[in-house]
Amino acid sequence: MRLDTTYTVNTPEGIALELSPAGPVVRTLAWLVDLSIRAGVSLLIIILLAFMGSLGIGLAMILIFLLEWFYPVWFELRSQGQTPGKRLLNIYVAQLDASPISPAASVVRNLLRVVDFLPFFYGFGLASCLLTKRFQRLGDLAANTVVLHKSLPVLSHREFSASPEPANVALALPEQQALILFAQRQSTLTAERQQELAILTESLVTHKTDPAAHLRNIASWLIGKHE
C-alpha cells in the first residue's frame, strides 16, 4: 500500500485519471541508481582519456560536465520521462496534468538541481518534497512537473468483454490509462455515450464500425501487455 497521496486529472474525453506522485524515498533510490551510472561512465571517460595527459583530463572534465547536466534531460525527453533509475523504480516525470514533459520543462527542472542540492545533499529539494502535497522539489515547481508512479489500473480480461488487439499508433501512458478506464466503465455508460467518447479518439477508431468495441479490444491488449 502506498503512502503517497493521489490526485485526479480530467481528460478532454471526460475520463478521470487518478495519478500517484512518487515520494522522496523512491525518488532517492532512483537518483542513486542514476548517480551510480553517471559515476561509472565518468570513471570510464577518465580512464580512456588519461593517456593524453593534461589535454585528456581537460576533455574528460568537459564530457563529465555535459554528462552530469544533460544525462537526465536526454533520457526524460527520449524515454517517456524515465531515466534508467526511474525506469528501474517504475516512476516517470511528466507535466502536472500527466502530459509528456516538454523540452523546456526538462531543462528547467534539471538546471535547478543545483538549488535543490543546497545547503547540503538536496536539503532544499527534500524540504520542498515534504512540504508539497505532490512531492515536488523546487525544480518541479518551477517547471510545473511532477514525478509519478508508472502503474496501470489492475484489471482482468474477465471484467469486460473484448478481444485483445494492439493500437495502430503509439500510446503514451495517460492515453493507455484512459482507454483502460473507458473499458472499466462499460457497465456505467450507455451504448450511445460509449460511442460518443470512442469517436473522440479519432485516429484510433478510423474506419471502425464499432469504435467503442475497438477501444475495449485495445484496452484488453494493454492489460495483457502489462500483467
Cell for 167?
A: 493500437
Q: How far apart are CA 149 and CA 21, in angstroms?
A: 6
Q: Write out the residue range of the structural domain in which residue 81 sits.
A: 7-149
Domain assignment present for 1: no
**Which one, of 27, 4, 22, 11, lies nearest residue 177 by Cα?**
11
Residue bearing the bigger pLDDT, 51 or 66: 66
Q: Are residues 161 and 212 in the same domain?
A: yes
Q: Are residues 130 and 94 in the same domain?
A: yes
Total domain count, the chain: 2
Domain assignment present for 14: yes
Banded model confidence at residue 137, pLDDT cuts 50, 70, 90: very high
Domain assignment present for 141: yes
4-52 per-position pLDDT tens digit: 467 777 765 455 677 889 989 999 999 999 999 999 999 999 999 988 8
**How high does pLDDT run on average in the chain?**
84
Banded model confidence at residue 153, pLDDT cuts 50, 70, 90: very low
Domain assignment present for 2: no
Q: Are residues 173 and 132 in the same domain?
A: no
